Each structure stands twice: as structure tokens, then as C-alpha cells.
Amino acid sequence: MSNILDAKIPAGPLSKKWDNYKEHVRLVNPANKRKIDILVVGTGLAGGSAAASLAELGYNVKAFFYQDSARRAHSIAAQGGINANKNYTNDGDSTYRLFYDTIKGGDYRSREANVYRLAQVSGHIIDQCVAQGVPFARDYGGQLDNRSFGGAQVSRTFYAAGQTGQQLLLGCYSAFQRQVGKGKITPYDRHEMLDLVVVDGKARGIIVRNMVTGEIERYSGHAVVLATGGYGNVFFLSTNAMGSNGSAAWATFKRGAYFANPCFTQIHPTCIPVTGDHQSKLTLMSESLRNDGRIWVPKKKEDAEAIQQGKKKPTEIPDEDRDFYLERRYPAFGNLVPRDVASRAAKERCDAGYGVNSTGKAVYLDFKYAIQRYGGIEAHQKGLENPTEQQIYDLGKKVVEEKYGNLFQMYEMITDDDPYVTPMMIYPAVHYTMGGIWVDYELMTTIKGCYALGECNFSDHGANRLGASALMQGLADGYYVLPNTISNYLADEIHTGPIPTTLPEFDAVEKDVKARIEKLMSIKGTKSVDSFSKRLGNIMWNKVGMGRTKQSLTEAIEEIRALRAEFWKDLFVPGEAHALNPELEKAGRVADFMELGQLMAMDALSREDSCGGHFREEHQTEDGEAKRDDENFSYVSAWQWVGDSIDNAVLHKEPLVYEETKVQQRSYK
Amino acid sequence: MSGNMNLTLKIWRQANAQAKGELKEYKMTGVSPDMSFLEMLDVLNEQLVEKKEEPVVFDHDCREGICGACSLVINGRPHGPVRRVTTCQLHMRKFKDGDTIYIEPYRAKAFPVIKDLMVDRKAYDRIQAAGGFISVNTSGNPTDANSILIKKENADRAFAAASCIGCGACAAACPNASAMLFVSAKVSQFALLPQGRVEATRRVKNMVAQMDHEGFGNCSNTGACEVECPKGVSLENIARMNREYLAASFVPES
């Protein structure tokens, strides 16, 4: 193992590591905190909670975000919930069980110590959010309610209808704005980070573009915190926001941070299927729907074909002719298997010709049974004797509406179909990237003083993230991990004093940034950014998507190289560099995706096994499950940028050591 | 999939905050009813780029109706003709072949135009910074979440108020450009929760003062905000805020 990939895991038993760490970490006293500037990039759950917490501690925070307000980052779109080890439901949950489920869900490709810490602080997150006034769902006794999510056999998910991410982010944003009011956070809205400035091996600043004026600006700090989310938009169609991008992370990679497990992408099983070429994004239907919805396709191929041709309706297929394939294949977890398993199972049925929708690329998610079940319970509670079918339906519909109303409404808006009557149609779509910037236990990247949080880093979810764990990780990193670990580094910075942005290193990086913008503007070719973005996305989806082979990956690398060359020759960006110019913003992001996509394919090619969301078709068990090769691939791949092309990237490996967990074939049967 | 709708768009174009804007006409053919409104504008923008013209600028991000970035006044109504729907979730099937559609930015003194259809809504952030929070630091030793019991009805009402997405449609819809629905939603969320009661007096005074300072108008109970709010935030919140504000005015400055 090269020394730079030392994860700095504290000594001692797993359950004591975090406490030991906190008890011995170096601190910065309050008077010295006031002398230290921290730059935070991104204001989703990870960045927003970090910025607020660091400012509360007394550091001077500058926060940068491309949106017009810190309240809009894409964490806001998370629907279903947030996991915590509270065990309020008395169903056997514990820190260990949450830890174990997460390690297993990640198919044994995450770091034990990081994941254990995540499980340990998860309960505090709920406490903190309640203290902030986050209106979680409650029962009539006034206590918090829970629901179940995939990959777990306990109910540990806290939620606020189908808008949990919104409520958590608004809680975080209120803490953030409180510090803005106190002058401890300076917000820079509509500012996009384009590069990182490293001085004597330490992150010292960033170069950003003011998206309203087009000016290139410099900011300095004693530490730089990246919380810029994931890179799912490399696929063009994903559940990410339109502006979600990988550029800040990519620039940091090019300045020396290693990029870990780039090929680990989560394809979420329950999204609204694609309808046409005009489609700009895909919309998720929360995993929480799998609590109550049953997934099926027709048992008979002729029924599937009749549905595809519009000759039959799903409601005309009797129960005995429905194949509830998840319940059939995975009786122990049923519809609540982890996302990677559910997605592949949907693809398997559709590839075999049993898909529904005119394209054959959809499966049903049916609430008929939940409506009947809830209706029955309600009728019983109301003391209705011999209720009619309609009464049961009406009562059941009300319960389902209360639980998932906003999701059903969204579905109807998009598809013009009423999911209370006709089953929803769903298909897998790109949702989350487990890969990201490599960080150690302290969340520091391989560049000193540069940290990565939330989806932006790689650390906690291995090869597959469990539902309701992204919110948990984002807030764990921002509220509880970074505020405790950053002082270990900043303790050496108390004598540094303000860092001038006139240093030659700032000059040099700014020059690079301006040169690239100039280049993008001066190509003056014939094709739009979006046209390139869509073509890249097609390559990624078809060849680096749910099923990958040596051949598809080799082809993808060649095709992306060619597309990249064409991009730099034939791109057309309208407007000016020194003004508001959304096409220019997109051009920079797509330019980076052209390299990042290739690295994802290179990483997938180098991993000759299947694990979690990384499914190499050559490596599967007889019944089509991912077949891991732990002897050769139980490591974190960490890529280093070398020279001036992604072709030269070098692979380093951080071995994964499992002390507490027994590594075994994942089974949800 | 291309569709069969033909539309005439009249879109507000304005180079920057200082420039004088005007409505420009664009013809769209082959619009699919399955497109979202913003996807229809994406198609227009692709066509403009192909003609080497500058695309229309508008705010948008999540396209799932939750981030609050999208805005637009469509045929005179913020977020368009369908109730309880943001512009990004509005689909073209709600329009007819041959329609003329007017697309303008929000019009409110406190929301200056940045370019074309994009406006500056930072006034809302400043109102939030003035008091839209509970003064609690991240605690290393927080009290257990279930030690605070909250009546389900109050929790549900607080949630309904908190579902505001901060898009600004309320102020854009109001003839007085009042931000009362937005401000009252935040005041209500916290006022309904025991955690938020502690500083309820300070909060309502500070937020209202900032709201006035930003140049938003007064509420005259027209109710347009509630009608246009894509999240259905209720006017009841304004009543609650008025009560809170009145009560606060009897409390001496602390």
C-alpha cells in the first residue's frame, strides 16, 4: 500500500475507535478559531450542515453554491427518509445492526471504521434535527414514527411524508442562515468552483466563476471542504438535478486528490420510465413505496406483449397470472431487497420480454393490495361490519394518500395516469454515485487541508448504498464528523494568518481556468453542449450501466475518447464568457464528464468481479447474483491523475480489512 | 418522440438588470404533450443555439417540484395554469394545439430581473436569516428526540407550513407583491412546535421587520398567494402570523 492511502483508522476495538479519536484529537481554542477561514463548496445536507456547525464553533466560513439560494441543493429532493439506530420500534435495532446492514448492503466494499462511526452518530442526527424544528412524522402519542427501507429487516427510517430531504435540508438551511445573520458565514450564491489552489502541498483556496457577471474570482482559506454531491449526470438522464455536476471534484482530482471507486454507481429501481427524446431528467419514486407496493410483471409472455401493444390493461391480469418476481426470488426480503438487486431483477424480466409499457422497459408497482389491506384495518377500527369493496377501497386509499400523497400526485402529473387505480410503471434509473473523492477517516483527501463530504466522497456505502442512508451520511459528515476532525489539521494553522490571494499559485491556477474558458468559447463549432451530453450519456448507459462486460467497457473507452476529441473540435457555445451564460456553465461540466466517464469505464474494466451496483456479466452466480472475488478485489480503487490526459490515470489500491464482520456471499433469500 | 402541437410563445427577453426588456415571439412546432413545460423551453433553446442565437435564461434545477428554483409567470399566473404544480412539473398536455403562451419573469420590486426570466430572490434568504430558525447549535450531547412530545395535529400543521419551497410565487401573485405567505409559513412552522415557542416573539418581530425592509407590500387578503402556491400553503398561516405579531407587540423588548 502506498503511504498516501493511509486511512488513519484509530486504534482500538471498532466500537471504541470514534470515542478514542475524539478524546485525543488536537483542538483549536475559541480565540484561534476566529483567525481561521474555511471555504465550503456546496450547500446540500453535507455542506450546509458543515458550514453551519463550523461557523457555530467560531470559524469564519465562506460558502459557495451554484444555485440562487443555499436552500435548493439536490438533497432537497430526497423523498423517503433517514436511517437511525434509535430502536424506538423495539424490533432489535442497534448500532451494530445498522453498521452490519450497511456493510452488507454495500457488498463488502466499504471501510468498517467509517461505517461504524456513521451508525454511532445516526441517532444524534435525529435528536439534532428535532431540536431544530424539523417536523418529522409522528404518531398520536406525539412520538416519532418509523418506516422500513430496503436491505433491512427493522423499521429504522424516520421521515416527513415523501419530503424528508426537503425538511432536513430546510432545517440545515435555517441553521446556515442563522450563521449568515451573525456574519459567521458569508454566502456566495450563483458561484461555481472551477479549480483548487494548492500551495506547498496544502489546499489554500479556490477559483470560482461568478455566474451572474462571468467574473473569475479568487478566495483563500486554511481549509477547503468539498460537498459538491455526485456525478450521476454523466449519464445525461438521471434523477439528479439539472445542475448537479462533478466539476469541483474533478478539478480537485486533477490537482492531486485521488478518486475512489468511480465505477460504483447506483441505479435506483423505482423511477418513472423514459417517455421520449425530449426527456431532460428522470424522476424517482421513493423506495418507501416498496413498503406497500408490490412489484410484478405478467407471468405469461402473451399478456406482456398484449400490454406492450396497448391491447390489455394491467388491471385485467388476474392475480394468479402476475409474477411477483422479487417475492418469488427473495422470500426473506421480498420487495425490500437492496436497490442493486431490485434493479437487476427488473432488467432481467424486461430483457426476457416480460416488460410492460410500449417500450417493454417497465414493471408494475401496484398499490391495490396495500389499499385493500389498510382499508380492511380501518374498517375494523371503525367497527364497520361487512364493509363493501368500495368502502374498503375508500378507507384504504385515504391511508395510502396520507403516506405517499405527494408522490402519487407527482406521478400523475408526469404520466397522466392515476396510480390509485392503475398500477404505477417504473424502471431503474441512475440515482447516486457511491464512488467519489478518496478520503481518510478524518474525511481528508490526499491533498492536505482539503476535505470531501457526503456523496462527494466514497467512504461509507461500498458498492451499493442502502435507501435512507444518503441523508444519514451527509448530515453525519457535516454535523458530527468534520467539526470533530478538522481541528486536528487546523491546530497547525493558528499561526498562519490570513492567506493572500496574490500568491503566484493563485495566479497560475486562475490562468489555467481562464484559458479553458477561452478555449471552450473559441471552438465555435456546430454542435450544442446538450447534444454531446446526450451522446455521452448513451454510451454510459448502454456500456457502463447496469450490466457491464469487458467488451462493452473497452468499446466505451474508445467511443468516449472519440467523442471527447469531437467535443473539443465541434462544440458551439453561444454568448459571452464575461456574462451570465448557462451554455458555458454546462460546457465546462460536460467537458469534465467526458473524462470522468472514461475513468468510470476504466475502473469497471479493472474490477474483474461483480459487487453491488458494479455488475460484470462475466461474473455472476448460477442464479444471476453478483459474484464477488474477495481474494483479488477486496480493495478501494483510488485513481491518480498523471500528466495531462485521463488515459494516463494510475490505479492505487487501499486494501479493505474486515475485523468485525464475517465477509460472505450476500443473500436476501 | 416528437408531438403534434404547434404553439406561439411570447417570451420576455431582457439582457440584464439595467436593460429594457421586451416580449419576443417564437414559433414552436411538433411539441409533444408528454413534455414538461421546461423541456419545451429546452427544445426551443436547442433550436436557438443551432441558429447561433442566445438561449432563453430561466432558473430551474431539480425538475421534481421541490427545490423551488423554477419560477415564470405563464399566461399571467406564477407557475402556470394548473393549481398546486410548479412550472417544472407542468406538462404540455395542459395546453392546446395553436395556443399562444405568454412567458414572463416574476414581477415584484423585491425580485429584480437578472436576465430574461431569471430573477433575484435573495430577499427571502435575508428574511430567513433575520429569524427563521431555532437558536440551537449542533450539540455533541443532544436530548433524545422522543423526549419532546408533539401532538400529531400540530406536527402535521407544522409540516404543512414547512413544505413551502421558497419559490416566490406568493409575492409574484400578490397585487401588493406581499411576501406574507412565505414569511408566515416559516413563523407558523416554528410557532406550532414547543422547540420554536421559546423565541417566537423575537422571531416574528425580526422576520416581519426584514420583510418590510426588503420592499414587499402589505397583505390585503386577496388570497391570490394561496391559489398560486404550488405547495398549497394555507392562508391560515397568515392569520397565525398576525396573531403572533400582535401578541409580540404587547411584549416589551427584552
Q: Residue ranges per domain, chain B?
A: 5-115, 121-135+148-249
Contacts of A77 in chain B (CB under 8 A): 62, 64, 66-67
Q: Is B218 on the interface with A (CB under 8 A)?
A: no
- Taking all residues of chain A, what is their mean pLDDT, rounded to a whole number? 96
Q: In angstroms, what separates the C-alpha of B221 from chain A's closest C-alpha?
A: 27
Q: What is the pLDDT of residues A444-456, one digit of tens each?
A: 999 999 999 999 9
Q: Is A339 a catalytic residue?
A: yes
Cβ atoms within 10 Å, residue A6? 12
Surface of A (366-425) touching B: CB under 8 A: 409-410, 413-414, 416
Contacts of B138 in chain A (CB under 8 A): 49, 52-53, 56, 128, 175, 479-480, 483
Surface of A (314-373) touching B: CB under 8 A: none
Name the pLDDT band for B117 (thresholds 50, 70, 90): very high
Q: Does ipTM surpass 0.95 in this model?
A: yes
By Cβ distance, the residue of B67, B90, B132 closest to A241 is B67
Backbone angles phi, psi at A665, to 5 degrees: -60, 130
Residue B2 has pLDDT above 80, yes or no: no
Q: Are residues A426 and A286 in the same domain?
A: yes
According to DSSP, the β-strands at A436-437 and A60-64 are unpaired
Q: Are residues A413 and A538 in the same domain?
A: no
Residue B109 has pLDDT above 90, yes or no: yes
Name the pLDDT band for A1 (thresholds 50, 70, 90): very low
pLDDT at residue B254, rounded to an integer:
53
Q: Are residues A417 and A541 in the same domain?
A: no
Contacts of B57 in chain A (CB under 8 A): 580, 582
- The reply to whether B121-135+148-249 shares the fold of B5-115 is no
Q: Are residues A394 and A517 in the same domain?
A: no
Contacts of B2 in chain A (CB under 8 A): 276-278
pLDDT at residue A173, rounded to an integer:
98
User: Which ranges of A388-466 does DSSP label H, i.e. alpha helix?
Assistant: 389-415
Surface of B (17-56) touching A: CB under 8 A: 32, 34-36, 38-40, 42-43, 46, 48-50, 52-55
The answer to whether residue A594 is domain-embedded is: yes
Number of A/B CB contacts below 8 angstroms equals: 221
> What would the 3-class secondary structure string for chain B be?
CCCCEEEEEEEEECCCCCCCCEEEEEEEEEECCCCEHHHHHHHHHHHHHHCCCCCCCCCCCCCCCCCCCCCCEECCEECCCCCCCCHHHCEHHHCCCCCEEEEECCCCCCCCEEECCEECCHHHHHHHHHHCCCCCCCCCCCCCHHHCCCCHHHHHHHHHHHCCCCCCHHHHHCCCCCCHHHHHHHHHHHHCCHHHHCCHHHHHHHHHHHHHHCCCCCCCCCCHHHHHCCCCCCCHHHHHHHHHHHHHHCCCCC
Q: What is the pLDDT of residues B42-52, one digit of tens each?
A: 999 999 999 99
Name the pLDDT band for A404 (thresholds 50, 70, 90): confident
- Taking all residues of chain B, what is their mean pLDDT, rounded to a whole number? 96
Q: Which of A339, A589, A616, A628 is catalytic?
A: A339
Fold category of B5-115 in CATH:
Ubiquitin-like (UB roll) (3.10.20)
The answer to whether residue A481 is domain-embedded is: no
Q: Specify the long-range contacts of residues A644-651, CB closer than 8 Å, at least 24 apart.
A: A646/A595, A646/A598, A646/A599, A646/A602, A647/A561, A647/A598, A649/A599, A649/A602, A651/A603, A651/A606
Rounded to two decimals, what is the model's pTM?
0.97
The answer to whether residue A356 is domain-embedded is: yes
Q: Is A157 on the interface with B (CB under 8 A)?
A: no
Report CA Rg, chain B: 21
Give the whole-number percent of chain B exceeding pLDDT 90.
97
The answer to whether residue A336 is domain-embedded is: yes
Q: Is B122 on the interface with A (CB under 8 A)?
A: yes
Distance of alpha carbon A595 from alpha carbon A250, whole angstroms? 9
> Residue A321's domain is classified under what CATH number?
3.90.700.10
Q: Which residues fall within 8 angstroms of residue B149, CB to CB, at 6 or more apart?
A: A141, A142, A143
Q: Which residues fall within 8 angstroms of residue B49, CB to CB, at 6 or more apart?
A: A528, A572, A574, A583, B55
Q: In angstroms, what separates the C-alpha of A103 from chain B's closest C-alpha?
A: 25
Question: Looking at the domain covering B121-135+148-249, what would its CATH class be?
Answer: mainly alpha
Q: Is B1 on the interface with A (CB under 8 A)?
A: yes
Q: What is the pLDDT of residues A298-338, one digit of tens each?
A: 999 999 999 999 999 999 999 999 999 999 999 999 999 99
Task: Tell which wins on pLDDT, A29 or A2.
Answer: A29
Residue A655 has pLDDT above 60, yes or no: yes
Q: Which residues fall within 8 angstroms of residue A328, CB to CB, at 6 or more apart?
A: none
- The total domain count for chain A is 2
Contacts of B64 in chain A (CB under 8 A): 77, 283-284, 410
Task: Tell which wins on pLDDT, A1 or A607.
Answer: A607
Diameter over CA atoms, chain B: 65
Distance of alpha carbon B111 from alpha carbon A548, whole angstroms? 49
The answer to whether residue A25 is domain-embedded is: no
Contact state of B158 with A135 under an 8 Å Cβ cutoff: yes
Q: Identify the bridge partners of residue A426 per DSSP, sorted by sequence position.
A: A363
The cell for A321 is 397470472
The answer to whether residue A520 is domain-embedded is: yes
> Residue A585's domain is classified under what CATH number?
1.20.58.100
The answer to whether residue A404 is domain-embedded is: yes
Distance of alpha carbon A398 from alpha carbon B58, whole angstroms? 38
The answer to whether residue A301 is domain-embedded is: yes
Q: Which domain holds residue A518?
A: 511-633
Question: Do A322 and A365 contact (CB within 8 A), yes or no?
Answer: no
